[in-house]
A and B are shown apart, each in its own frame.
Chain A
Amino acid sequence: AQSVTQPDIHITVSEGASLELRCNYSYGATPYLFWYVQSPGQGLQLLLKYFSGDTLVQGIKGFEAEFKRSQSSFNLRKPSVHWSDAAEYFCAVGGYNNNDMRFGAGTRLTVKP
């Protein structure tokens, strides 16, 4: 069965520092991978997605993620964090049909001034 693990429940980084949020997945077929961000009181907004091709994908707000099939990982990175990046981040894996999409439990990011 497919699943997503986000090992870090809460991460705190200083503004301007680099960021990496971890995501490991289990999926029986070729995965479609996503990162979503949720600000307080808001729904989830798509940051980036991977379907095939180049394993390094670029997203909105300066985020990128790298798909590593051998490690079943899809970690999210940003070179320099801004205070407005404070939010909850969700990794998701699915297939062709979104009905089987699985979300991780989320990583809450706090940004120190």
Chain B
Amino acid sequence: EADIYQTPRYLVIGTGKKITLECSQTMGHDKMYWYQQDPGMELHLIHYSYGVNSTEKGDLSSESTVSRIRTEHFPLTLESARPSHTSQYLCASSELPGKDSPLHFGNGTRLTVT
């Protein structure tokens, strides 16, 4: 049972549109993450946050932006979608760094840009 929720599950949108992928968690976790997942490839971290008003870029360059105004909410925005943004986007959360802080994932948003 997922305690981290992503909407929409699927999104097909035209080039140039602005989109926001929603992610919310009910576990009270301080850290949240966005990963990009493509078939046959490792997951790539594109954004993360340590808590409210904290946002950092991950190791994969991304044209998206994120915000963290509330602990439970970590939306990802693409100002102008392009076909190269077609991918699956996974949101995750965890406790602050510590040995017992594995990632908890949402079910993902599959984005297709036409």
Q: Decide if B102 touches A34 in the complex (CB within 8 Å).
A: yes
Does A97 reach chain B (CB closer than 8 Å)? yes
Given contacts A98-B97, A99-B58, contact A105 B103 (CB under 8 A): no
**Which residues of chain A in 40-64 are interfacial with respect to chain B, using CB atoms and an 8 Å cutoff?**
41-46, 49, 51-52
How large, as a class, is the contact surface on chain B? 20 to 34
Q: Does B40 lie within 8 Å of A106, measured CB to CB? A: yes
Residues of chain B within 8 A of A41, CB atoms compared = 9, 107-108
Cα-based distance from A63 to B98 in the complex (angstroms): 24
Q: A98-B31, A98-B97, A99-B56 known; A43 and B42 CB under 8 Å?
A: no
Partner of A43, one of B41, B94, B98, B106: B106
Q: Is B102 a contact partner of A103 (Cβ separation < 8 A)?
A: no
Q: Is the CB of B106 within 8 A of A105?
A: no
Interface residues of B (CB under 8 A from A): 2, 4, 6, 9, 31, 33, 40-43, 45, 48, 56, 58, 90, 92, 94, 97-108
